[in-house]
Amino acid sequence: MATATLSIDLDAIAANWRALDRASNRRVATGAVVKADGYGLDAGRVARTLAQAGARQFFVAVAEEGVTLRKALGPGPAINVFSGHMEGDTQAIAGARLTPMINSAEQLARHFETLPRHPFGIQLDTGMNRLGMEADEWAAVAEFALGQGPKLVMSHLACADEPGHAANAAQLAEFHRLTDGITVPRSLSATGGILLGEAYHFDMTRPGIGLYGGAPFGAAEPVVRLSIPVVQVRAVTAGESVGYGCSWVAQSDGAIATLSAGYADGLIRAMSNRAMLYAGDVACPLAGRVSMDLLTVDVSHLDEVPEALDLLCPAQGVDRLAEAAGTIGYEILTSLGPRYARHYAGGVA
């Protein structure tokens, strides 16, 4: 079979959630971010597994994701939508019983004009300048909004993966300034914020990338393995080039393995001539450019070429691969394409 195999350990995701739950203040609820189809790993399977582990609050990016997740989770858990109540979302929010995180006075007005008794939350901008109400806008609507009983008031840290960054303390102070004295549950931290300590935890944490084995949660259990079949092995002589653009040239006689995966499978071209694949614990350099359906790998140093080489495995997790490609683990995970044969271990089907 020429299809690469993506193995996903749902029990490891659950274990990572439990570890981050323990890392949160024991009085704090721990939610779970499952946007982008569970970071590319199937939001329904991931969320059902996390619900069984104890998660009762889930977060998605847009209402359409929430509708799909509601079908997978059933009526119990809360599903919160980061993009808030956009025009055209009303039916989806009502039908799937979603909780929009309101980002502006305009969204607030839309919500109460169309769904006046429906649950909602508030998102505040404390310095990231991406989503949420800034201080002046919040001051203008806070009395009304808080009087309607929001389920959550939240913000998001810009630099939580850098513990010493001055923006963390500045955003924490701004969140206190905007919300101290309210009785509504508050949330500031995703994975990185949890690791910054109790001062950042408030009433709810929202781990995301750490659930899936990514930095900055260094203690995370590995979640994914990607094994790519070898289609062909050929001999090359010194001076011969490999792949598009002749960007890799053999320095000595050797062997090249051609593997069945490429950028159509989410293996970004930035990996070209930089990433490693693995035969067990033995690293094999990617030789030449990533093409649409194929990779070429230098296997000259192997005594025997296996039937498949691993791109993600215990020897190389998503962040190590991302570093080689000049990106972040989030992009590696969420880029993984639909052609893989996906095998799920543990969790809830």
> CB of 256 within 8 A of CB of 305?
no
Specify the length of the chain in residues.
Answer: 349
Which of the residues are catalytic? 35, 244
Angle at 270 between CA 1 and CA 7, to 5 degrees: 35
Give the pairing of strands 282-285 and 248-249. Answer: unpaired
Backbone angles phi, psi at 224, to 5 degrees: -120, 150
3-class SS at 303? coil
DSSP state letters, 310-331: EEEBTTB-HHHHHHHHTS-HHH
How many C-beta neighbours within 10 Å does residue 283 have? 14
C-alpha Rg value of the chain to the nearest Å: 23
Torsion (CA) 295, 334, 37, 81 in degrees, nearest 10 = -160
Task: Tokens for 201, please give them.
Answer: 């935890």
